[in-house]
């Protein structure tokens, strides 16, 4: 009995003390938090944003930049990563990657091979977020420092996550969702765009942050729309919010609208969208019904929402504002992008599989001429701590 117990104990110790075949000492690793990919004449320019351990150390940090950039060029991504060993004293470790930025030129050429690489390689997890460098390169984006978070890659990841959940003008797209959208016959992908808001002082210098506002800032500027695996156009911020209303991806956001001479601000809470399909005489049409609740955090102009008859105008103004954003997104997709980014084709497929089999190979041609009707119903839940301004005289 004792011998059996010892054998079990020894086996457990072997499991605990043994390492995996690819393990490395922490002090031999260079932790990459963001990767950039740009198009070159012969393939790719790879940019890795590496944490500077001396600058972010809890004790006795140095005054140097919190990250450093390593670049490499090759006809394929794996070789480009491997070639970084010619420049770095540490092994590049991509397991904690939070972000992949694609240059706009590369995204317009096609990203299928890039996605194949990320899903095939054991080195990467699948929870990092994709961004596109609008009118720029991935290298230009990743060389900029950020003010609130010392690690720019982490800052952009948090911006993408929070703005997607709380603002509604972006979308945090991860690799599996991106692949599914591109592979689907009934929808096309979108990826959030980022660019550099130019100021007087460059934000790739630590000295820039000794001033409070005069440095370049990274900012999101809407959604890049794809047809298959190629970037073909852009939705602006308002159209991007309309896209998120239609696709039921929006959790919370803020809106504003004019009511008489007043400006009303709205907190929109958990809108829900339902897509309905009608097929008549072989012609599809779509109805999108959006229901939401809202509160009123701000009123400019003394509008009195304590009067019941006025509340209808407040709700109507919000409904019209959201309807306009949704219609703008649909118009952009049908007239300029010419690709179904909303998943209407998937809804048609679910509605009538036989009909779908006749149009799936030319669905974008059907989409651009298909009627789409938006209906928004808004319900007020509260007007804040007060319903009538203290400064409103009877």
Structure confidence at residue 6 (pLDDT) = 40
CB 98 within 8 A of CB 154: yes
Structure confidence at residue 267 (pLDDT) = 96
pLDDT in tens, the chain (394 residues): 555 544 544 455 444 444 443 455 666 788 899 999 999 999 999 999 998 876 555 555 556 788 889 999 999 999 999 999 898 878 888 888 999 999 999 999 999 999 999 998 888 989 999 999 999 999 999 998 877 777 889 999 999 999 998 899 999 999 999 999 999 989 999 999 999 887 655 555 556 554 434 456 899 999 999 999 999 999 999 999 999 999 999 999 999 999 988 899 999 999 999 999 999 999 999 999 999 999 999 888 777 777 777 788 999 999 999 999 999 999 999 999 999 999 999 999 999 999 999 999 999 999 999 999 999 999 999 765 555 555 555 5
Question: DSSP secondary-structure letter at 151?
Answer: S
Q: How far is CA 228 from CA 61, 327, 373, in A?
A: 46, 23, 25
Within 8 A by CB and 6+ apart from 198, the residues are: 216
Beta strands in the chain (DSSP E): 29-39, 44-51, 67-74, 91-93, 99-103, 129-133, 190-197, 217-227, 230-235, 252-259, 262-280, 283-300, 372-382
Backbone angles phi and psi of 132, in degrees to 5: -120, 130
* Angle of the 112-120 helix axis to the 175-183 helix axis, nearest 10: 130
Structure confidence at residue 56 (pLDDT) = 56
User: What domains appear along the chain, each with residue ranges and CATH number?
Assistant: 26-235 (no CATH), 237-394 (3.30.300.210)
Q: Measure the CA–CA gap between 153 and 146, rounded to whole angstroms.
A: 9
Tell how strand 372-382 and strand 217-227 pair up: unpaired
């Amino acid at each position: 009995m004792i011998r059996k117990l010892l054998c079990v104990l020894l086996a457990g110790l072997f499991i605990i003390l043994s390492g995996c075949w690819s393990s490395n000492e922490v002090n031999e690793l260079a932790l990459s938090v963001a990767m950039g990919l740009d198009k070159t004449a012969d393939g790719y320019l790879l940019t890795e944003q590496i944490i500077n351990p001396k600058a972010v150390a809890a004790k006795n940090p140095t005054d140097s930049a919190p990250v450093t950039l390593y670049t490499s060029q090759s006809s394929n991504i794996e070789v480009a990563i491997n070639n970084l060993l010619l420049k770095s004293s540490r092994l590049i470790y991509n397991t904690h990657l939070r972000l992949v930025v694609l240059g706009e030129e590369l995204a317009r050429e096609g990203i299928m091979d890039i996605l194949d690489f990320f899903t095939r390689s054991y080195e990467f997890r699948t929870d990092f977020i994709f961004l596109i460098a609008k009118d720029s390169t991935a290298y230009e984006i990743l060389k900029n420092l950020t003010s609130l978070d010392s690690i720019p890659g982490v800052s952009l990841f948090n911006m993408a996550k929070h703005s997607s959940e709380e603002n509604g003008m972006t979308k945090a797209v991860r690799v599996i969702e991106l692949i599914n959208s591109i592979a689907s016959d009934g929808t096309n992908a979108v990826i959030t765009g980022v660019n550099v808001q130019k100021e007087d002082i460059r934000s790739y210098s630590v000295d820039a942050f000794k001033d409070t506002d005069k440095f370049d800032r990274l900012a999101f500027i809407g959604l890049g729309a794809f047809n298959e695996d190629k970037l073909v156009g852009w939705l602006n911020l308002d159209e991007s919010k309309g896209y998120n209303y239609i696709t039921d991806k929006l959790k919370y956001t803020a809106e504003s609208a004019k009511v008489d001479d007043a400006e009303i601000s709205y907190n929109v809470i958990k809108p829900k969208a339902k897509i309905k399909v009608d097929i008549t005489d072989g012609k599809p049409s779509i109805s999108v019904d959006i229901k939401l609740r809202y509160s009123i955090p701000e009123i400019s102009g003394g509008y009195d929402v304590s009067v019941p008859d006025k509340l209808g105008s407040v709700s109507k103004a919000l409904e019209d504002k959201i309807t306009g954003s949704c219609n703008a997104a649909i118009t952009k997709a049908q007239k300029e992008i010419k690709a179904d980014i909303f998943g209407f084709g998937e809804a048609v497929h679910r509605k009538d599989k036989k009909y779908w089999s006749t149009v799936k190979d030319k669905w974008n041609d059907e989409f651009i001429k298909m009627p789409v009707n938006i209906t928004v119903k808004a319900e007020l839940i509260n007007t804040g701590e007060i319903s009538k301004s203290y400064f409103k005289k009877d």
